[in-house]
Amino acid sequence: MNGPLGLGEAETALIVALGTGLLVGVERERRKGDGPERAAAGLRTFTVVALVGAVSQIVSPWLAAVALAGVVGLAALSYVRNRSDDPGLTTELALVATALIGMLALSRPALAAACGVVLAGLLAARQMLHRFATHWLSEAELHDALLLSALALVLLPLLPGAPLPWLGHLSPQRVLLLVVVLLGMQASGHVAQRLLGERVGLALSGLLGGFVSSTATVSAMGALARDGQAPFRLAWSAAVLSTAATWLQLPVLASVVSPTLAGLVWPWALLGVGSPLILGGIAWWRGRNDVGARSQEDHPGSLAGRRVLRLREALVVTGLLVGAALLVTAAERYGAQGLMVVTAVAAVADAHAPVASLLAATGAGELSPHHLLTGILVAISVNSVTRSAAASGAGGLRFGTGVAVALVVNLLVAWGGAYWLGWLGPA
């Protein structure tokens, strides 16, 4: 069997092993030092070890086992010989990993090459990773990263994935996935502000915060503007951008709740997202001189020590989603009019909740696309009143009026476009 470029398996394995050994060896050679206290393994050692791993695997698996044991022994001797003040095992473990990559190159050359590049990259990024772990990353951020990882990688796969009628056609796995998605949006907004600064980060926080709760985001931005913690135009821009996330949330929710509907709701999302993106973008651009470039260290409200994840907020939003799903499921027996009434009631608190339940019911074949679109427009329209009230209460009359005007423009475009395109024709 031939590998890339018409070479045989053995030849391909040797080339990959040679490349890996040279790549990792060059990085280690630069760090081994000089004189009698220099490290034992460098460019030649790593190259030879990679080739030994590949050749031994080609000859016999038994020989590969013996070769690997020899490499482990040499790595142990190297560690004992090393008298430096650094107690780390990086070079010794890299030596063993290089041998294993050389062995892997026979059966999986592409994977072996990728592992070699990743290994060399990790070794080269030592100082950057050290600074990230000890200086840039705060204790609260580490805690929240571990929490999100545990939910996504440990608990989520263990939950049943079958939809349950009594849960509004949602499965326990889908419910937790909603929590994970909401927490991921929170984390993305936090990282955006830390990496990109106040001006860009505030806009991204508004947009990403809208995926969690546009009402909560509008209130938060209004409070920032009222207290003078953020320029008015930038806070207003972030609030308006959060309303764009309500439309962008449609395909996101569809992909989680009922993946078959994701393609159906994309045109509706694109129709509604245009005006808030344009209005928010204009305000953001006009506010480019309202705030100077300040580092996180100099900013009095530094984000480094703040919690990344707001678990209670995500659980509340998810609870609203599940509660709305139950309401919509119960209202299905009363026909389309009863369904629209329940959708409007549920949308007073949050637009995502009834939309998710409508998507679940449509995916189960219990609603038509016509009723789905009508329900989405009703939910967003009712929730726009709530967001306008929240903006006025948190940011004052001027801020609330600006948000309300943006929402009215958005609704006119959405309803008018839906009628003009014939999406609200007979059911």
Asked whether residue 184 falls in the same domain as residue 58, the answer is no
The structural domain count of the chain equals 2
* 103 vs 358, higher pLDDT: 103
Q: What is the pTM of this model?
A: 0.54
pLDDT in tens, 129-158: 777 667 666 777 777 778 888 888 888 888
24-33, 34-43, 414-423: range with lowest mean pLDDT: 34-43
Q: 140, 206, 159, 213: which is closest to 181 by C-alpha?
A: 213
Is residue 426 one of the residues assigned to a domain? no
CB 217 within 8 A of CB 242: yes
Asked whether residue 172 falls in the same domain as residue 97, the answer is no
CB 22 within 8 A of CB 47: yes
Looking at residue 298, what is its pLDDT? 40
Looking at residue 381, what is its pLDDT? 87
Please give the residue range of the domain that contains residue 49: 4-132
pLDDT at 170 over 90: no
Confidence of residue 300 (pLDDT cuts 50, 70, 90): very low
Asked whether residue 115 falls in the same domain as residue 175, the answer is no
pLDDT in tens, 47-90: 888 888 888 888 888 888 888 888 888 777 776 666 555 555 77
Is residue 427 one of the residues assigned to a domain? no
Residue 337 tokens, joined: 């009019």
Domain final residue pick, 132, 161, 186: 132
**Euclidean distance between CA atoms 51 and 133, whole angstroms:** 34
Helix (H, G, I), strand (E, B), or coil: what is residue 235?
helix
